[in-house]
Amino acid sequence: MCTTVIVGEKASYDGSFLMARSADSSALKAQHFVIHPAKEYPEGAMYRTKDYDGATDFSYPLPRQAMRYTTVPNWKTGLHGAVGFNSEGLGITGTESIFARDDALAIDPYNKESGITEDDILDVLLPRCKTAREAVALLGKIIETQGAGEGFGVGFADDKEVWYLETGTGHQWMAQRTPAEVYFASGNQGRLRFFDPKDDTMMGSPTLISFADFAAAYTRNDDRDRIYNDPRVWVMQKILNPSLEQKVADGRNFDVYLKPEQPVTLQNLKDIMRNHFEGYAHDPYSFGLNGSEPWRPISVFRTYEAHILQVRPWMPREIGDVIYVAFGMACLSCFMPFYQGLDQVPVAFGEGTDHADDKSIYWKFRKLQTLAMTDFPTLAPIVQKKFAEHEAAMSEKQSAMEKEYTSLYATDKQAAHDLLQKFNLEVFGETEEVIDGLMNELFTVLTAKIEKENFFANKKMKD
């Protein structure tokens, strides 16, 4: 289950392409950050999902010359890469789970035995595709020929375009280039609508009917959407278009694309990924945990990571392509920048399982979040204030580093490279220090609270 926002370059604050997504299923699903080096494979070598204990028995030929790329995968299999860039500047985020209509699936079911799933998408596309358009076309061809093992939506960006692809059923799909002036928001539902095979900003399976409403024809639309999916789309559109008045119950009629009232910033997307209907009666956290709240928020405890992918074509690719990753529940986490030119990450970023530990960065965040959730109204504001201050400080350092990097890059690429490595490792280390400090602060607050609440019992004991 996920939530996605795609932003066209003229709708963003600085002309960059932006994609943001939260991923959730289990709080115990530790995530790693992995840099896959360029690699040469022998002719006939195959990628097989089962070799990694993946979801299906999907397989696909490996490229002879695989490009370097990054992913944020599941600890157990190393698959389900979530988000990444390759060395050519192609960025992908996937996937958004989509639920197809039962009657449509009866005609064209998912290939649950050997179809492609979110386990595979980044590891198949990023080593071989150079552009967003090429990656969309290849994924579509795989869906047509080998089938999808589940319903999903995937975002693609390079230095020229940003695209979004949705599956309909097992072998049907549609993709559209996001227009420059608008944004697209989705929460576990098909949102793309009308397909025009003559429009070069659209692609789709050969048997799509051009006059049909794609979402209506293929995607489930019932009471579950009214409380689980539509409220998230409603709040995202409300954040970016505050004057917009619409009822959540009309979710299926929300515009697919909207021009934001103000240019979309990184902070806007962080706020969206952290949103839990704060300011509304449907907030399940701020007034004390409310497990019976029917509306599903964007930021939930079982979120295992959220990210923002940014492409700035006017910069050297090494710093122009950035992924901001927040491990765990976004509203109690910190978005850290992972630049495309990064050579390595600390060991802790590649550790962590489904059991808590004292080493991995994932579990450092998750322990802090678990502690804060014991008294969200009291403890969450402490965490959020400190992370906001830390992100602001990181942003200032980023601007200074990028300015220096750009200057060095023109005359001494190695010096620029070394600067980037030093910067990234420093901010990662500083973030760990902030987490450690917050843990101690929360324990201090809780200790004082418990002592106060047990005052009379303690007084009686003394008397």
Instruction: Give the containing element (helix H, strand E) for 59.
Output: strand 59-61
- Count of beta carbons in the 10 Å neighbourhood of residue 448: 10
The residue type of 266 is L
Q: Residue 456: in which H helix or E strand, if any?
A: helix 455-462
- The one-letter amino acid at 211: F
Q: Is 331 tagged catalytic?
A: no
Question: From edge to edge, which strands make up the β-sheet containing 83-85?
Answer: 83-85, 91-97, 152-157, 162-167, 173-177, 202-204
Strand partners, 66: 39
Cα separation, 171 vs 351, in Å, equals 36
Strands 162-167 and 303-311: unpaired
C-alpha 350/C-alpha 346 separation (Å) is 8
Helix 413-453 vs helix 376-409: angle between axes, to the nearest 10 degrees?
A: 170
Give dist(CA 408, CA 189) in Å, integer: 46
The residues, ordered by sequence, that sit 6+ positions from 168 with a Cβ below 8 Å of its Cβ are 100, 104, 108, 174, 190, 205, 208, 214, 217, 218, 219
Contact 40, 55 (CB under 8 A): no
Active-site residue identified among 2, 129, 331, 334:
2
Q: Decide if 38 contacts 66 (C-beta within 8 A).
A: yes
Which of 183, 184, 124 has the alpha carbon at shortest distance from 153? 184
What's the DSSP call for residue 340? T
Q: Which residues are catalytic?
A: 2
